[in-house]
Amino acid sequence: MSDHEHPGHDHRYGHGHERDRGLVAMVRYLGHAPEMWWSDVNTAVVDLVSPQAGEQVLDIGAGMGPGVVAAAARGATVVAVEPTPFMRRVLTVRRLWQRARSHIDIRSGAAEKLPADDASIDAVWAVNTMHHWVDPERGAAEIGRVLRTGGRVVLVDENFTDPSHPDYEEFGRRHSSDDENHHHGFTMVDAEQMGDWLRAAGVADVEASVRTVAGRPSTVVTAGVTG
Ligand SMILES: C[S@@+](CC[C@H](N)C(=O)[O-])C[C@H]1O[C@@H](n2cnc3c(N)ncnc32)[C@H](O)[C@@H]1O
């Protein structure tokens, strides 16, 4: 297949958002390192995805890998897709001391350019990364391309600008110019819109909602999962 036959191989994509590059982004992420290392939301998302031994699953914008290590520990093979070199380096080191490290495959890529073959993935998830996507419609098309028929999807973005979010005040202090549609310069994705894009990409059983995940108000889009 040539680079021009499907959107995943378009060279304009695959490097993530420009705000995720460089020293400023690295310093911003280091400030969030504790919750990027381990988070209740990632644990809840992996529970929803329910990766099974022998499955091939994919975490979009895996970051430092809280979801990746949890899913690999369940026996699934996890493709950790991450555009930011700093994040890939951290996860590469973290992988070394995971008992399930042979089940963790770290790949450079982005939502808009998933490094996976057509219909090769049993389940896809993404935590707190949809609002970073340069082109979320293309991201939805890519999910539809790589997902096998009947595969599962869980996409969650916490809404830190909702006053009921436990980190609302701290987030407000750090990002005083944010409003409900913008998080530190990124644009929140509308759940219904993402649901429609996934359906258009051929994904079945899609549900979109705004609800809590691990007690945190979130934009949630799922396919093929219950709960
Ligand atoms: C707030 S972090 C979340 C990381 C991880 N999912 C977690 O829950 O800890 C956002 C991540 O999205 C990644 N990212 C940025 N642009 C992206 C894109 N277009 N596609 C996929 N991931 C992207 C960033 O590099 C970063 O690792």
Token pair 């096998």 in the structure block, residue: 148
Q: Which residues line ligand 1 (CB under 6 A)?
A: 16-17, 20, 36, 42, 60-63, 66, 82-84, 87, 110-112, 127-129, 132-134
pLDDT of residue 79: 98
Q: Which helix (H) or strand (E) holds 124?
A: strand 121-127
Q: Is residue 143 part of a domain?
A: yes
Q: Is residue 2 part of a domain?
A: no
- More confident call, 26 vs 225: 225
Tell which residue, 111, 73, 66, has the closest CA to residue 91. Answer: 66
Condensed to tens digits (0 to 9), the pLDDT of residues 155-200 reads 999 999 999 999 889 877 877 766 777 776 778 899 999 999 999 9
Q: Is residue 1 part of a domain?
A: no
The token duo for 152 is 């599962």
Share of the chain above pLDDT 90, in %: 72
Q: Are 67 and 91 in contact (CB under 8 A)?
A: no
Domain limits for position 202? 7-223
pLDDT of residue 174: 77
Condensed to tens digits (0 to 9), the pLDDT of residues 70-114 reads 999 999 999 999 999 999 999 999 999 999 999 999 999 999 999
Q: Is residue 208 part of a domain?
A: yes
Least confident of 4-8, 87-91, 115-119: 4-8
Distance CA 176, CA 188 (A): 16
- More confident call, 84 vs 9: 84
CATH of the domain at 120: 3.40.50.150
Distance CA 215, CA 130 (A): 19
Q: Is residue 61 part of a domain?
A: yes
Q: Given the CA of residue 35, which atom of ligand 1 is nearest to it?
A: 9
Residues in the chain: 227
**From the CA of 199, how far away is ligand 1's center (Å)?**
23
Task: Give the CA radius of gyration of the chain.
Answer: 16
Q: Is residue 102 part of a domain?
A: yes
Whole-number average pLDDT of the chain: 89
Q: Is residue 74 part of a domain?
A: yes
Distance CA 127, CA 155 (A): 6
Mean pLDDT value across residues 196-217: 97
Domain count for the chain: 1
Dmax of the chain from CA atoms?
A: 49
**Neighbouring residues of 27: CB distance < 8 A, sequence distance ≥ 6:** none
